A and B are shown apart, each in its own frame.
Chain A
Amino acid sequence: MSHSLVVQLNLLLAALILLSSFALLMQRRMFAILHIFAWQGFFLGVSTAIIGYASGVHHLYLSALLTLAMKVLLLPYILYKLILKLKIRREIENMVNVPATMMIGIALVIFSYHLTEPIRQLSVLMTRATLAVALATVMLGMLMMVTRSHAVSQIIGFLAMENGLFFAATSATYGMPMVVELGVALDLLIVAFIFGIFFFHINTTFDSLDVDQMAKLKETD
């Protein structure tokens, strides 16, 4: 594998990660969102492994393995079980104006490209071009949390943000120290469990997981 081929593969995977972020923004069905999130985790893991191979930073292999285990297998499985238990099988939610969301998404990508311009000029790493994609993924994850009205989709948005941050770490500095990685992974697992508990509570109180229902909590009218 020549060096430039590795870089090209990395760029291709970055593009696929960006595509999956947009697909998450636009998708309405619960199970489809889970699948896309799993794919995003897969692309992320493979990309980390490739960077680990090309740069010789070997602990990235462990990170890749961890990512694949957590984000492709474990987290989607937990959420899938949650969805089944809460009996929200095929819920299709109403979304705020899909075309407007897409336009805002494109604007965010352009904005993050503009933001990372100085870093791109200074960095000597081969992954400098993908930093913009990573930042865009974070912002698109946040956009997903803002535009969705179902609790599970908001969780996925949060997890997508974390994906973006992880990708940014590998792009900017060839990964975080292993201790930090393990800590973050553990935090994610705990978050998943806590959200599960909260979902049960919300479901029992409001009989649905539509977070717009929380507007009933307002004191004044």
Chain B
Amino acid sequence: MSLHPLFIELLQVALLIALAPAFAGWVKIVKCRLQGRTSPGILQPYRDIRRLFIKDVVLAQNASWIFRFTPYLIFGVTVLAGGIIPLISTDLPLADTADIIALVMLFVIIRFFTALAGMDIGTAFGGMGSSREMMVSALAEPAMLMAVFTVSLASSSTSLTRMVVVMSQGEFVIRPSLAFALMAFILVALAETGRIPVDNPDTHLELTMIHEAMILEYSGQHLALMEWAGMMKLTLFFALGIAAFVPWGIAAGGQPLALLMGAVLLILKLLLGGVIMVLIETGLAKMRIFRVPEYLGSAFLLATLGMIAFFILE
């Protein structure tokens, strides 16, 4: 008895929307433990979002329709991305909607409109956040593309489901190219999701904000949507890494048991991934903004080495 692909799709999207705040909560818990503090609990992000939904929206007087529209658009695009990346199964009708390059461009839509919203109000914070964010993303794009391309070489396809199928069902081969691509992907993912060492997600000091500066003016349900979308984006980047590099466990069809296994394995991988990310974050300090090009340059270098290693060594 196999579930209908449409149902699997909805299940996956619902899982993403429901569990993303829990993942953010888990990251917070591990971070607090490592820093010797008491954590607020894994349900705190849910409480935060609920609190924001209840509050009124306060808009600046000169905010335009772009400012009001952006949170909905961001949420919609993130949900679409969640429908494309195979989280628990590869049998998704939406999976062929976009390959990995199109997926990267979907994330660019999010950045584009968030940057526009940052500039909409007309304060210095917003412009600063937008300007820095666009610089970081402009330099991260080549590194991301190279890492993606290196991964796609092994399966000679840029479709994520195909990559998962080839990796998980093919024979096990040690591929140095994938190891390099994984390192590059981790570096780029830290930059794109706005974590240390590129950006500090907990700060509101203007010298250190990038992402927070762009959404500084949002309040109420708009802020709730932006925060939720941010948590989903973090989860999705992890899921993308898992699908590309460690996809074993993702169900190939729609059997309920396989789906359950897939979900359990996904949660386990996310928990482990969260711990690793927090270790990196706690171990490093945030870089000054003009060191970020060097950082992204080394990510590009690693990805290129991976690509070269594929052609030379494999």
Taking Cβ atoms with an 8 Å cutoff, the residues of A that contact B are 5, 8-9, 11-12, 14-16, 18-19, 22, 26, 98-99, 102, 105-106, 109-110, 113, 129-130, 132-133
Question: Are A98 and B297 neighbours in the complex by a CB distance under 8 Å?
Answer: yes
B302, B308, B312, B313: most-surrounded residue (chain A CB, <10 A): B312
B173 on the A face (CB < 8 A): yes
Interface membership of chain B positions 176-200, coded 1 if the CB is closer than 8 angstroms to chain A and 0 otherwise:
1101100000000000000000000
Question: Are B301 and A22 neighbours in the complex by a CB distance under 8 Å?
Answer: yes
Question: Are A109 and B308 neighbours in the complex by a CB distance under 8 Å?
Answer: yes
**Nearest B-chain residue to A25, judged by Cβ:** B301
| Residues on the B chain within 8 Å of A106, using CB | 301, 304-305, 308
Question: Are A14 and B308 neighbours in the complex by a CB distance under 8 Å?
Answer: no
Q: Which of B263-314 contact A (CB under 8 A)?
A: 293-294, 297-298, 301-302, 304-305, 308-309, 311-314
**Nearest A-chain residue to B173, judged by Cβ:** A8
Considering the chains assembled together, what is the distance between the CA atoms of A77 and B180 in angstroms? 30
User: Distance (Å) between the CB of B64 and the closest chain A CB?
Assistant: 39
| Residues on the A chain within 8 Å of B173, using CB | 8
Considering the chains assembled together, what is the distance between the CA atoms of A132 and B310 in angstroms? 13
Considering the chains assembled together, what is the distance between the CA atoms of A98 and B297 in angstroms? 9
| Residues on the A chain within 8 Å of B180, using CB | 15, 19
Selected contact of A15 from candidates B176, B294, B298, CB within 8 Å: B176
Taking Cβ atoms with an 8 Å cutoff, the residues of B that contact A are 173-174, 176-177, 179-180, 293-294, 297-298, 301-302, 304-305, 308-309, 311-314
Selected contact of B309 from candidates A5, A15, A102, CB within 8 Å: A15
Considering the chains assembled together, what is the distance between the CA atoms of A113 and B307 in angstroms? 13
Known: A99-B294, A106-B304. 15 other contacts (CB 8 A): A14-B313, A15-B305, A15-B313, A18-B305, A19-B180, A19-B302, A22-B301, A102-B297, A102-B301, A106-B305, A110-B308, A113-B311, A129-B313, A132-B312, A133-B313
Give chain B's interface secondary structure class.
Answer: helix
**With known contacts A15-B313, A109-B308, A113-B308, A26–B298 Cβ distance under 8 A:** yes
User: Distance (Å) between the CB of B277 and the closest chain A CB?
Assistant: 22
| Residues on the B chain within 8 Å of A105, using CB | 301
Considering the chains assembled together, what is the distance between the CA atoms of A113 and B305 in angstroms? 12
**Nearest A-chain residue to B313, judged by Cβ:** A11
**With known contacts A18-B305, A129-B313, A132-B312, A12–B176 Cβ distance under 8 A:** yes
| A–B pairs, 12, beta carbons within 8 Å | A5-B174, A11-B176, A11-B313, A15-B177, A15-B180, A19-B305, A98-B294, A99-B297, A102-B297, A109-B305, A113-B308, A129-B313
| Residues on the B chain within 8 Å of A9, using CB | 174
User: Distance (Å) between the CB of B180 and the closest chain A CB?
Assistant: 7
Selected contact of B174 from candidates A12, A19, A132, CB within 8 Å: A12
Considering the chains assembled together, what is the distance between the CA atoms of A15 and B182 in angstroms? 14
**Nearest A-chain residue to B308, judged by Cβ:** A109
**Nearest A-chain residue to B174, judged by Cβ:** A8
Question: Are A99 and B312 neighbours in the complex by a CB distance under 8 Å?
Answer: no
User: Distance (Å) between the CB of B245 and the closest chain A CB?
Assistant: 15
Considering the chains assembled together, what is the distance between the CA atoms of A14 and B297 in angstroms? 22
| Residues on the A chain within 8 Å of B305, using CB | 15, 18-19, 22, 106, 109
Considering the chains assembled together, what is the distance between the CA atoms of A99 and B301 in angstroms? 9
Considering the chains assembled together, what is the distance between the CA atoms of A26 and B177 in angstroms? 20
User: Distance (Å) between the CB of B278 and the closest chain A CB?
Assistant: 24
Considering the chains assembled together, what is the distance between the CA atoms of A113 and B308 in angstroms? 9
**Nearest B-chain residue to A99, judged by Cβ:** B297
Considering the chains assembled together, what is the distance between the CA atoms of A12 and B305 in angstroms? 12
Which 7 residue pairs spanning A and B have beta carbons closest together?
Answer: A15-B176, A11-B313, A8-B174, A99-B297, A15-B309, A102-B301, A12-B176
